[in-house]
Amino acid sequence: MIIFDLEWNRGYDHKALDEVLQIGAVKLERLGEPILSTFNVYIHPKVHKKLNKVAKDLPEMQQSLDSQLDFPAAMELFRSWCGEDRIFAAWGADDMSTFRQNCDYWHVEPPRADRIYDLQGRFSTLLGVGRAFALSAAVEYCQIPELFEYHNALHDALYTALVGEVMGHSALDIQPVPYGEIEGGPKKPRRESEPLNGIAPGMDDEKLEELLAELVQQTLVQEKTWTAGPCAIAKPIPDMARARRPACPVCKRRWLIGRWFTSDKLVYYNVVTCRDHGKFLAQLSLAQEGKDWFGILSMPEAGQEELVGFVRAYRGQSVKCKTLHARKK
């Protein structure tokens, strides 16, 4: 499998070409596995006489200006390095279309590909978020150390592979949902002032007892679950929109849980409130099937076992959910 990234210059002249300045790539046996080999070339610009602002700000722009390679020669090296690999992936769809555009302009053969995967779209769908995110936002979310500068094609390919390790190979089976159409996910970035559902930490014993009594009296609970995942590791699941959006069993109104309480990081609890139908216990259970992790969100009946688990979790760790923000690299 080849994960690649490009840097290019979009000129100010009449020539409609995003001229490739750098090709960076990493080779893996499959997504989520160790990097086997890397590829990096800088390409001397020959089409546009001027650099646009984005190209001028590239950290390795001088390397391209000093390079003796043109695009056809760089492509010959890249195809040789790819060998028999026919599976490609990139962060977004722009890189492959730019590859093809440059191949057409220079009349050279594009990389032979049986499948091309957009990992950016799959990342958003995996998390249940209805918008695209910059690679840097995904790196930050996955808590990957930022050791290299962005806007370097090799560095960005390395970061994409590391995010892919968190996503896991099974993420390739996900069909990306068009941004803004994910079920239960926000179609627009949520304002920070928008209230989240769920109780806050710091409740004293008396108030906690009153809350438990109210949960026991709730008779409107119905059997309903929501599944989040698959994911290569368990850590991101409690933040996924699909794992945080239960619905009232009566009016079907959905809520977004803002924090979880847990004692073991395998079962999470909170209490959500419907203004018309009262309070409900929300439970998120993490489970592993093979190499993949899933989250099962439910609103169970508040029996003795569930209440004991909730109290233990409430007195354990309070975990505030993270919210991904769209931003540039």
Q: Which of the 8 DSSP states describes residue 241?
A: G
The average confidence (pLDDT) of the chain is 86
What superfamily would CATH give domain 2-173? Answer: Ribonuclease H-like superfamily/Ribonuclease H (3.30.420.10)
**Which of 45-59, 199-213, 231-245 shows the lowest mean pLDDT across its residues?**
231-245
Sign of the Cα pseudo-torsion (225, 299, 122, 238, in order): negative
* pLDDT for res 179: 55
Residue 39's pLDDT band, with cuts at 50, 70 and 90, is very high
Residue 221's pLDDT band, with cuts at 50, 70 and 90, is confident
In percent, the amount of the chain with pLDDT more than 70 equals 91
| pLDDT above 50 (res 193) | no
* pLDDT for res 245: 85
Rounded CA-CA distance 29/32 in Å is: 9
- Max avg pLDDT among 158-162, 214-218, 250-254: 158-162
Sign of the Cα pseudo-torsion (46, 50, 52, 56, in order): positive
pLDDT tens digits, residue range 287-328? Answer: 988 888 889 999 888 889 999 999 999 999 998 887 554 443
Question: Which pairing describes strands 278-289 and 292-298: parallel, antiparallel, or unpaired?
Answer: antiparallel
3-state helix, strand, coil in the chain (%, to 5): 30, 25, 45
CATH 3.30.420.10 range(s) for the chain read 2-173
Q: Which of the 8 DSSP states describes residue 159?
A: H
Model pTM score:
0.62
292 by DSSP, 3-state: which?
A: strand
Q: What is the mean pLDDT of residues 39-53?
A: 93
